[in-house]
Amino acid sequence: MIDEADRDPVASVAFGRWLLQQRERGDWVDDLAQAARADRGFPKDGDPEAVRQHLRKQQADGDIFQAVDDAETDWRNT
């Protein structure tokens, strides 16, 4: 069993790249991932905060940030 403290998501795939791979989840993370794939400026190698900063620059609405929070939780638990 892997202890949560032993996980290091930074050492695995970057959050931005992980997000781009999310498909057919049926939730708003899937919607976020679909929008990210269509965004040529999306920070593929970025961490969750880089994604949030990018979305702020794009003047994204507040709901999308909840999707980023959910995605970050899933990413950290993979």
- Going by pLDDT thresholds of 50, 70 and 90, the confidence category of residue 69 is very high
Position 47 scores a pLDDT of: 98
Q: Which of 41-45, 51-55, 58-62 has the lowest mean pLDDT?
A: 58-62
Q: Six-digit token pair at 24?
A: 């057919």
Q: Six-digit token pair at 42?
A: 């999306």
Could you identify the residue written with the tokens 């790249």?
17
31's CB contacts (< 8 A; 6+ apart) are: 67
Q: Which of 9-13, 24-28, 63-67 has the lowest mean pLDDT?
A: 9-13
Distance between alpha carbon 48 and the CA centroid of its chain, in Å?
6
User: Alpha-carbon distance 25 to 8, whole Å?
Assistant: 24
User: Alpha-carbon distance 24 to 32, whole Å?
Assistant: 12
